[in-house]
Structures are given as structure tokens and as C-alpha cells.
Structure 1
Amino acid sequence: MYKERLELYDKIVDKCSRFERKGKTMPYTSANGYMFSLLNKDGELGFRFSKEVQEKYIKEFNSSLFKSYGATMKGYVLIPDAMLSDLDKLAEYLNESYDYVMTLEPK
């Protein structure tokens, strides 16, 4: 399953021209010194949003905070399996996540 999810993640990132996927063992995207999406070892996808947007999307997606390697990733929303078929919509959410980290003070 992980290999299929990695291919899916790459397809989503490929739809976004302003950034690229990084990481060999832990695929992620980052900008402005902040990670804003990642694929964990279980093949789960998490996107980072502001606290307000995060709360909204957790309700809207019927989801939860994202966990990676046993740690809850503050600010990240778990993208539910049911959403993984709409790559265009996921690319919109990923671009929204990128826009969010670009508003943060650079690291």
C-alpha cells in the first residue's frame, strides 16, 4: 500500500508548480523553512493548515489530527482515504497549505 500512496502523493505534488516533493525515506514538501505536507510510514497523508482552517477541515473531512511515527503533528490534518480519488481537489488543498506556510515568519 505504501508504494501506491507514494505514487499518489507524487501525482498530487506534480499538479502544484510552486514546490516539489522532498525526502527519500519520509516524503514531504516544505517552503519558507516549514514542512507543510508529508506521507508517513503507514501511507497516510497529512497537510498543514492554520488552526482555524485545521479545525474546519477536521469537521468537514470527518478526520483528525495527523500522526506520524507515533507523534501527533500539530497543525496537520489527516487526509481520509475517501478523499484520495480526487487529485485535483487534493492539489487545491496542498496549494492552500503552501500558501499558509508562506504567511509564517521564515525559519
Structure 2
Amino acid sequence: MNWDKELEFYDSIVKDCNGFERKGKKMIYTSSNGYMFTLLNKAGEIGIRLPKSMAEKFMADYNTGFYYSYGAKMKDYVLVPKSIYNDKKVLVYYMEQSFTFVNSLPPK
């Protein structure tokens, strides 16, 4: 894994999204309404927080599972498989859906 390359890729997806920007220097994430909703862990894996029904469909459609960061299972997060990294439109769609989801939650 090339951390700089993974960070550059994550940043390129976030840049294509509407309404939010990347945060953090060591812990890379996006947040809104007091909630983180995407993460890039130290293993260079991307996680997206989705509502339960959408998360289940995402995991079934893309043959993936839950997202882990620093050894902990992240509640409501799915692991973005490398197999869809070449389809940035899909990644942007799900990140924007995640943004909408956290903005529907009560503010923290």
C-alpha cells in the first residue's frame, strides 16, 4: 500500500462531491452535523457510513463487509472494495448519500 496514493485518491473523490470537504491530518475523515461519515484508515481503506438498508444493499452488491478502523468495527460503516475504485461516479454517489444521511440525524 502506498499511503500517499490512497490519500490522493480519497481526496479526489471528496473533491468531486458537493457540500463537504476532507478533514484531519493524521486521521482522515469527512464530517457534518457532528458526525463523521467517511474515513480513510491507516491501512488505506475507505469506509462510508450509510443507513442500514443502504449499507446492506451496498455490501451485497459489491461483495464487501463492515468497515474496521484501528481494529474496531465502525457502526453503520461499509468497507469500499478496491474493485469499485475505478468507478468514481459510484463512490461520489455513496459519499453524497452518506452526507445526506448524517444530516438527517439529530445534531450532535
TM-score by length of 1: 0.97
What is the RMSD computed on CA atoms of the aligned residues?
Answer: 0.7
Cα deviation for residue 88 of structure 1 reads: 2.0
Deviates further, 50-59 or 35-44: 50-59
5+ long unaligned stretches in structure 1: none
Q: In structure 2, what is the Cα distance between the partners aligned to 1:69 and 1:75?
A: 16
Residue ranges of structure 2 left out of the alignment (5+ in a row) = none
Identity %: 49
Alignment match, 1:20? 21
Structure 1 equivalent of residue 76 of structure 2: 75
What is the Cα deviation at residue 52 of structure 1?
1.2
Q: Tell me, yes or no, if structure 1 residue 57 matches structure 2 residue 58.
A: yes
Query: Alpha-carbon deviations, 1:44-91, whole Å to 9, x = none?
Result: 000000111111111111000000000000100000001111112211
**Residue identity matched to 2:75:** K
Looking at structure 2, the residues matched to 39 and 58 of structure 1 have their Cα atoms a distance apart, in angstroms, of 18
Report the number of matched residues. Answer: 107
CA distance in 2, matches of 1:91, 1:99: 12
Moved beyond 3 Å, runs of 4+: none
